[in-house]
Chain A
Amino acid sequence: MITGSGQTTGLATRTRTLLAPGARTAGVASRRRWVLPAVIAIGIAFPFVVSNDAYNLQLAGDALALGTWVMGLDILVGYIGLVSFGHAAWLAVGAYTFGYLAQQGWDAVPAIAVTVVFTAGLSWLMGIVATRAGGLAFAIITLAEGVVLYTLILHLGFLGGGIGMFGVPLPHIAGFGLLGSEQSLYFFALVLAVMSYVLLRSLVASPVGGFWRAIRDDRVRAQSIGIELQRYEVLGFVVAAVIGAVGGIGFVAVNAGIGPAQFDWSQSGLALVILIVGGSGTLYGALIGAVIYVFASNYLTSSFASTWQVYFGALFVALVLLLPGGVAGLLRLASGRLRRRPA
């Protein structure tokens, strides 16, 4: 009897450790608590500490907008385990919808609301199509959907057609007047990025996030414990698209326009590259990747113009092979080492 009860207790303890998510992720969660203040602090400090000239502020705004866009992709790749090759479409949908409304003289807040609702509706329809078959089929269907949207946008004359959309006016926000300087546009992109991060963080921590990870880790098992795969995959698809579109809003505001080269299918590949370099499954990795990409490509393409793509591809393969967690994984590894070392 004694051994029996001992075994039961042992089993119960083991089961509890296995099931209690807090037990294993507590360390991670406590480390992640530093991410948000760090992002806000670095974001606010950048114009005052690093550089306040228009060019660098535009680059930084670009990095924030692209980071937001890729953060959306991280929901699919890092949390649900679906690789999308059509994420550039959402940058375009967000940028064009918001840009068009801004051209009609809309205030930024209702324009953002309409953009989000429109993107959610569109991505819901496309998500239902894309998630009908998982894995490779998802990758190919999202690629096809991206191409269809790309062609559609280029043939809508009122959006500027093949030349792209230019001369998007500075957005104005109720009570704050026009966003004028590069600095205020930069902060506009920063606010969008931080809000997106907070929203995604809480979504990922919610039960829905648990379902997503369950689907990622084992589709069959997730289905067998009663998770409706397609329902949560479509939900994730919509979230990814909406956050991608929010990135597009920041992008069109910072650059006062968008051209076809910013959302063709190679840009969907770029989103994946940024995500893998930064580290998938972390959300903030997308921001790190975007900052690295924007500044590296801006300063390195001039010196390595022709061979740039070779190094980039080699770096990408090396990262997948040697450092699947990206830069975020490296940071986590480093902070783990520091923590474990006795004081």
Chain B
Amino acid sequence: MNPFGSVTASLLVVNLVDAWLYGSLLAAVAVALTLVFGLGRVVNFAIGAFYALGAFIAYSFQRTVGYWLAVVLAVICVTVFAGAIERVTIRPLRGRTEISTLLATFGLAILLDGLIQVVWGTSTRTMASPIGGTVPVLGQRMSVFIFVAAALATAVSAGIWALLRWTGVGTILRGASQNASMAELLGVNTTALMTGLFAASAGVAALIGGFAGPIFSVRPGMDLDFLIDAFLAVVIGGLGSVRGAIVGAYLVALASNLSLTFMTGDVATAVSFVVVIVILLARPSGIFREGRAVT
């Protein structure tokens, strides 16, 4: 009669660990999204496709060069590719409305998702875990790689944070996000900066996709699920706030994993969306309403 009867403490803990892992992966991509939005008001709907592309390229190279090198190659390929895409599709839209770039990146998402299906087909692939072995968690066994991937993803977010805080590039980026025309006057080439930032953010997404490959399955459609969660994270946290994106990512991961503990698949998704809607009703501009400043 206890509604939590089937949910044991250990299952709950495993789900919490999963939430921490998923939150760490989401956070890095949410931060990347936030930076691109902050600098150029570009809402990048293609980031999910870059994430999926990273996973697929890593999958393809894994057998020949090994997992870690495959992930590095995936990041390089996606970064260069995304830089070229920005040059051709996003840069010409400067000065047009936010909706134009939103629609353009949305079209890119459709295009890249189709491209993935043409190249890799529609079947689901599984990647072997690069690090074997398991850790006992309250009687359940969890793969060591999960903890390694979560730690690495956290390091990526921390690295971006440190880059923004303590380096010259970070200062330029923060300044240009606050006032692009002033930055231009001071000699910053914001157009080139945008191309670089867009490419780098796609690279981060590809890296996270590479980490996600062995944990979740590699399949077409993985881009959309991840994209939606990343955007929910950014919106909950407050647009333009790096801190908010990180907090939002963990909240989204917690909401979806906790609801998965008690409910089945699609109901859990719906419930986590209701949680998000409730948060936004309470705080329409997100948890950290910092306006345009990237902090």
Contact = CB atoms under 8 A, between A and B. Distances in A.
Interface in A294-343: 306-314, 316-317, 319-321, 324
Contacts of A310: 111, 114-115, 118
Interface string A161-175: 000000000000000
B23 to A, nearest CB: 18
B111 A136 contact: no
A321 B89 contact: yes
B270 A147 contact: yes
Contacts of A77: 99
A137 B274 contact: no
Contact of A321 (B104, B115, B231, B277): B104
Nearest to B121: A306
A221 interface: no
B273 interface: yes
B169 interface: no
A316 B113 CA distance: 14
A314 B108 CA distance: 7
Contacts of B93: 320-321
B106 A312 contact: no
A140 interface: yes
B143 interface: no
Nearest to A147: B273
A317 B114 contact: no
Given A147-B273, A313-B108, A136 B239 contact: yes
A185 to B, nearest CB: 31
Contact of B118 (A143, A272, A306): A306
Interface string B232-262: 1011000100000000000000000000000
Interface string A65-105: 00000000000010001010000000000000000000000
A75 to B, nearest CB: 14
B232 A140 contact: yes
B111 A83 contact: no
Interface stretch (A37-45, A127-135, A282-290): A127-135
A235 interface: no
B194 to A, nearest CB: 16
Given A83-B99, A137-B284, A140-B231, A152 B104 contact: no
Contacts of A139: 43, 102, 231
B281 A129 contact: yes
A272 B110 CA distance: 12
Contacts of A150: 270
B162 interface: no
B96 to A, nearest CB: 8
Q: Which DSSP category, helix, strand, loop or mixed, fits chain A's interface?
A: helix
Contacts of B117: 306, 309
A320 B281 contact: no
A320 B114 contact: no
Contacts of B108: 313, 317
A313 B114 contact: yes
B270 A133 contact: no
Interface size band for A? 35 or more
Contact of B266 (A81, A137, A144, A154): A154
Candidate in A133, A154, A308, A319 with the most chain B CB atoms within 10 angstroms:
A133
Given A141-B280, A324-B100, A309 B266 contact: no
A286 B106 CA distance: 18
Interface string A254-298: 000000000001100100110010000000000000000000000
B98 interface: yes
A136 B110 contact: no
Interface in B209-244: 224, 228, 231-232, 234-235, 239
Given A309-B117, A317-B107, A133 B284 contact: yes
Candidate in A144, A145, A147, A319 with the most chain B CB atoms within 10 angstroms:
A144
A317 B111 contact: yes
Nearest to B272: A144
A124 B270 CA distance: 20
Nearest to A319: B107
A151 B284 contact: no
Given A136-B43, A310-B118, A312-B110, A320 B100 contact: yes
Given A137-B235, A141-B280, A320-B104, A307 B92 contact: no
A197 to B, nearest CB: 23
A148 interface: yes
Interface of B: 37, 43, 89, 92-93, 96-100, 102-104, 106-115, 117-118, 224, 228, 231-232, 234-235, 239, 266-267, 269-270, 273-274, 276-277, 280-281, 284-286
18 contacts: A129-B281, A136-B231, A136-B234, A137-B280, A137-B284, A140-B235, A151-B269, A265-B224, A269-B106, A269-B110, A273-B110, A307-B118, A309-B114, A310-B115, A314-B107, A314-B111, A319-B107, A321-B92
Given A129-B280, A135-B239, 17 more contacts: A83-B102, A132-B284, A133-B280, A140-B231, A141-B277, A144-B232, A148-B273, A151-B267, A151-B269, A269-B106, A306-B118, A308-B114, A310-B115, A317-B108, A317-B111, A320-B100, A320-B104
